[in-house]
Structure 1
Amino acid sequence: MKINDKILNIPPYISTSWENITSLFTQNDQLVVILKNGAKIDIPNLPGEVIEDIFKIHSKVLEDQSKPKTSISFGLPSLPTGGLESFTSAMQHNPEQKDAPDIPSDIINKIANIAKLFAEEANMDIPKPEDNCNCMHCQVSRALQIGMGINPENLDVEVDEKDLTFRDWDILEEGAHLYRVTNPLDEKEHYSVFLKDPIGCTCGNKNCEHIKAVLNS
């Protein structure tokens, strides 16, 4: 036997969810269950406290079903005459909605496309979404940043100058005065450079770029 707010299971008489049950009543000390399909189920020999619990659960299920379901609207305000910046300023971060459901992807795409149309407004302030927040403001802010070509995940990442420098060759010291020079775009292309008299490179050219790369490293 299993009786909760989801199912009524009393073997061997009945096992179904409450949504399939229309009503309950007792008759001749038996519990009678009426199903939506019109079937009538008589359940004998149930203790009085069990019957009472069944009626309580059924009452709660009926109350829950009668409550209006809360729907979340993803309607967005019309674009003001002030442009995209006025649109973003009309929305404010709301930490109470940090666990809000995701805005449908089609609406997110529309927001990003709107941002692309206003991409020339380079001096406008794109609102920054808060970390770990899914409120309407933060979701829209992320979509705007994507539309403007900004990656929200990398906004605060500092770029090392080394990452901005193009490398012609990767240089690895292999021993005393001996270096391995490798093409970073093709690891199969590599040479050995020796910087002690006589200076040389396995490419066969005494004034090659591989030797210069090692000397300048």
Structure 2
Amino acid sequence: MKITEKLLHIPPYISTAWENIESLHTKDNLLIINLKNTKSIEIPNLPKQIIETIFNSHAKFIENKNDSPPLNPFSNMGLSMNSGSNLSSIDSITSAMKHNPDQKDMPDIPKEVLKKIATITKIFSDEASIDIPKPEANCNCPYCQISKAMQIATGVNIENLDEDVSEEDLKFRLWDIKEHGDKLYLVTNPLDHNEKYSVFLGDPIGCTCGSKNCEHIKSVLKT
């Protein structure tokens, strides 16, 4: 018999990691272990002290699991979404990731993450030469999603990457801005065309986001 912080080993009944165990309870003289695969294991006639040790070990495993900080899915790329922008973050992204056609139907990366990547890319593409990766057509793997965000950040038309790019096309944009009327502008997120705002530069100045000092108004004023 072996009971540790990681596993429960009671031959010949069970030997498994705590992460495979859903719950524990007792009934009469039985210890009943419910597994995550919906199976149950019944162990008879265990001493009370052993049962208490098993319950305490399981409780400790659950507490430690709940106290663990959530994993940052981008930590292996050297990009902390809570830290300041730095050039090594961009280098880490482009060098650590590879196109994976097996992941072409992956879910979309959160928009706020892509926007962070685009912002960092823009900041340092103005200061240093950055090798921006080229996304593959009709692929949604993490590499291609991030590549598209980086291409957009530098103003490249991702649908025509093999064509010559004009100076006008290379203008960076966190927002697409179009005049929509007298002193009225439509501001659209190039990474998500469903995110749109109307900015009015008349009296009073305002934006449909509800803020009077938002980045949408500032972007229009800079154009």
TM-score for the superposition, normalised by structure 2: 0.35
How does the TM-score come out when normalised to structure 1? 0.36
Larger Rg: 1
